Amino acid sequence: MRFYRQRYLACLACLWLTWLISPVCAQPTPEYVWYRNAIVYALDVDTFKDSNGDGMGDFNGVIQQLDYLQGLGVTVLWLSPFQPTPDRDDGYDITNYYGVDPRLGSAGDFAEFMFQARQRGIRVIMDLVINHTSDEHPWFKSARQRERSPYRSWYVWRDKRPADADKGMVFPGVQKETWTLDSVSRTYYYHRFYDFQPDLNYSNPLVEAESKRVIGYWLNQGFSGFRLDAVPFIIEVDGKNVEQPDHRFNQLMALRRHVQLHGHEAILLGEANVAPDENKDYFGKDGNGMQMMFNFFVNQHLFYALATGELEPLVRAMEQTRDIPEGAQWANFLRNHDEIDLGRLTTAQREKIYTAMGPDKNMQLYDRGIRRRLAPMLGNNQQRLAMAYSLLFALPGTPVIRYGEEIGMGDNLQLKERLSVRTPMQWTDEAYAGFSTTKPFRPVIDAGEYDYRKVNVEAQRADPASLLTLITTLIQLRKEHPAIGLGKWIMPEHKAPGLLMTQFTDDSETILTVHNFAGGQATTELACQGKFLIDLFSGQRLPVKNGKVQLTVKGYGHHWFQVR
């Protein structure tokens, strides 16, 4: 009897130890690293597809297009905010974290969407906007009414206007301050974003606990993770030294543990535009922070390379962001839902990009970026677009593509700020771009070279030379050759200044990608250990002689070679 009792206690101890360790384990097991070779597609429900003819996209509309997304090769959908909102900041001003905006459908429509996505093997992640609420949220309405409100300490208040109230704005040039006098309480509240988006106070443990309840709720609805909005502002010491605040990284690690307690496969994808020497704080020194982050640093230097043809800053940026924990992953993108942020470049570098890609003041935003889609920035040059997207899928990390980019949609600079790149999806050449049967809540692009009658999914599906066809091919190749997402990478030495080369190797293969940032043909000789190279696009074989191969790449050309 004593033997069985001891064995029972030993098993209990083992189970307890496993439970204790698993949430903070820095090395995820292979079945939990799905995000490292995913294809992420970002969309706004309201601008994707309208199913009921009210002019606004909805969850049933997304369901109608899931087969399209599956055919494209998408494995993960990233949804922009869909909770109830006054919609003063395109949904990022939330009034109920536990609901679905009725304009986008019912809770049943949402549940059916999640089911249909799973049926097609598509995971779904959502924007987690917990840095701030709408000023119409019941918490803030209560907090501003009286000092003894239980929600008063959920926000950050000052009796007097702080001396640095005109600093630290996320939207300079549009936003004037980070402290605003509340007309009800006659005290000042803190907000990194617009004045109708008061910041939550994460120094208050009740706020942190509520954020974890929100996370648990949506994980139980079937999400595979979250794109964590405005990460540095969530964990900053609120309202103190806004230009160089201290951060509570322990709270970020606690969020990671909480996410994994509710679902071991769930991830945090962080929006943290930070310098390379800060990456380890967000990923966690032992890999126990966020599993993924957007690589804003490489993105900014990539646009400099696209604008100038100068590759050295991009190569340096890739090397500076190379060292991340095992199991962590970069998310790479060309265009997202915001402006292209160039704030980490020098003034001279930024001016060169403005000159090449956004020369008019109306094309620029927040004194740091450009509010255009990629196709207009590259002059709708199909060779440059093809090269840029080939590179996106061949960068170390996971590719993220924004809706409409796969067909080269344009922008509407008559819309304010970031809405210029958030126009309705262009499906067909029928009225309202096939997005709706009635006038949409936001205008479709119906003039110029990006007119929906010229640029739409239906037309490009039928064109084997279209951008949509190319991106579908790139996604398929990326899936067939996972070394790009999972393998070790180097940048081989060569003497052609316009060529960016990256070589990926895993246990089964070696892939060499080549991209020409110059408009003219480039030729170089490259050391190679294989016997020949296979061009994965054309099937052409290039012989390796005496350990070297001759490469000739046309202007803005791109190649993916398998080394054999």
Q: Which residue has the tokens 């779904």?
A: 124
Reading the block at residue 306, the tokens are 């696209």
Which of these is catalytic: 44, 46, 101, 229?
229
Q: Which residues contact 486 (CB under 8 A, 6 or more apart)?
A: 36, 37, 506
Strand-pairing partners, residue 175, are 172
Three-state DSSP class for residue 524:
strand
Question: Which of the residues 44, 199, 271, 341 is marked catalytic?
Answer: 271
Write down the residue that tokens 């040039």 correspond to. 173
Q: Which SS3 state, helix, strand or coil, does residue 445 take?
A: coil
Which ranges constitute the DSSP H helices of 309-393? 312-320, 347-357, 374-377, 382-392
What is the SS3 string spanning 78-101? Answer: EECCCCCCCCCCCCCCCCCCCCCC
Q: For residues 54 and 101, give the distance between their C-alpha atoms in angstroms, rounded to a whole number.
A: 14
Is 480 designated active site?
Answer: no
CA angle 395, 398, 402 (to 5 degrees): 100
Nearest to 82 by CA among 108, 45, 128: 45
- What amino acid occupies position 450? Y
State the pairing for strand pair 179-181/292-294. Answer: unpaired
Look at strands 488-490 and 499-505 and give their pairing: antiparallel
Three-state SS for 112-163 is HHHHHHHHCCCEEEEEECCCECCCCCHHHHHHHHCCCCCCHHHECEECCCCC
271: annotated active-site residue: yes
The token duo for 57 is 């996209």
φ, ψ of residue 190 to 5 degrees: the values are -95, 140
Separation of alpha carbons 496 and 491, rounded Å: 13
Residues serving a catalytic function are 229, 271
